[in-house]
Amino acid sequence: MATIVLGVQWGDEGKGKLCDVLSSEVQICARSTGGRNCGHTVVIEGTSYDFHMLPSGLLHPSTTNLIGPGVVLHVPTFFSELATIEAKGVQNAQQRLKVSTRCALNLDLHAAADRLREGQLGKNNIGTTGKGIGPAYSSKAERSTVLLADLLDDDGFGDRIRAMERDYKLRYGGGLDGYDVEAEIKELENFREKIRPFAIDDVEFLAEAQEQGKKILVEGAQSALLDITYGTWPFVTSSSTTFGGVMAGMTLDYRKVDSVIGVLKAYTSRVGSGPFPTEDFGEVATKLQEIGREFGVTTGRRRRCGWLDLVSCKYSHHVNHYDALNLTKLDILDSFEEIKVGVAYKHPDTGEVIKGFPASAKLLSRVEVVYKTLKGWNTTTTGIKKFADLPKEAQDYVTFIEDFLGVKVKWIGCGPNRDDIATR
């Protein structure tokens, strides 16, 4: 009854396209974790739809969309993004959009604190999006933040925000980049009645939906290697981006989860700081960036690029236990004479093969990658719809990935458009 779509690598794998495809087959599309730091793009007939705060299932007129309680909600982005997709012709979006009253708010105050903290860290910064996601989750853990329920029903919510502002100024010993606490409180007061029609008790909503046997799609945010526990810590996001995070971020009946789908790119990319064993610093990276349009949807930053790292992908599988895979952006490799794939790590001091995926970011940044070189196909795959129609070398690439990971590749992305997917 429920399908969960998760990122395998460091995000930006193209989860939005698969979620868009699967959303046409479900009654509910939900987000369970993360915030406006996410970025999913769907291209339909030449029109690009970018989603940061809202579920991409809104593109399907019969699908109800839920922002679950594990998400940190930035209210202005909620409304600006809604207005943008409505202006592009999305029908009945407001009637099909729900948000949990249990969501903690992601405030502009959090973003100001995030930027201040990153600036103080200097060259040791995490490389956050600057959207305040870390401080938002920290405030939730400290029990000092404001929930959507507080905004709706507690006139004293502003005092909590003022207290947080005082705390940040004391904690970081400085100003907050022109942040105006009274202006934000006033803005939220103005949004109060506007957001009320969207606010629901998500527990009752999902209990009823599951009792009725409605099909549910969970749209994962970020990816396994950015998880707060299992990612390349401390260069991670501030929420749990794995299967466990989904179960904590919304009340799914685990017995009714039909499949967990992992989305991985045909090569690897990463935004921000942190170890990246297969990162390329020369011609390969430049080519991948330019052909693959590797610029962040949320930040606009150029993504770091390199060859596919199957060591990290296998680790991701061990964390999330994927039932099937969606391999994306295969077409970006169309013009490569040969393609390398990372298949093992060697310890930089002993030369011995490392079993598993190191928890130490320092060690991970020093490992020696063992590569397998495969022959490229040197012909276009864009628009191909069937696996059998792919060039033999491209088929070999896909099956090599399947055999290494032990998971079937069910969907293969062969172009930027909505229907540029080969199925098996």
Residues classed as catalytic: 12, 40
- At 410 the three-state DSSP class reads strand
Read off the tokens for 7. Answer: 């990122």
Instruction: Give the other-Cβ count within 10 Å of 400's Cβ.
Output: 17
The count of other CB atoms within 10 Å of the CB of residue 163 is 12
**Cα–Cα dist 330/265, whole Å:** 8
Reference 218, options 69, 31, 58, 21; nearest CA is 31
Structural tokens at position 3: 């399908």
Helix (H, G, I), strand (E, B) or coil at 153: helix
d(CA 28, CA 46): 26
* HEC readout, 65-106: EEECCCEEECHHHHHHHHHHHHHCCCCCCHHHEEEECCCEEC
Residues 6+ apart with CB under 8 A from 344: 311, 353, 354, 369, 370
Give the 3-state DSSP-derived string for 365-397, with helices as H, strands as E and coil as C: CCCEEEEEEEECCCCCCCCCCEHHHCCHHHHHH
> CA Rg, the chain, in Å?
21
The whole-angstrom separation of Cα 75 and Cα 87 is 19
308-346 burial by CB neighbour count: b if 16+ within 10 A, else e? bbbbbbbbbbebbebbebbbbbbbbbbebeebbbbbebe
| Token representation of residue 119 | 């600036």
Residue among 11, 30, 20 at smallest CA distance from 222: 11
The answer to whether 277 and 345 are in contact (CB under 8 A) is yes
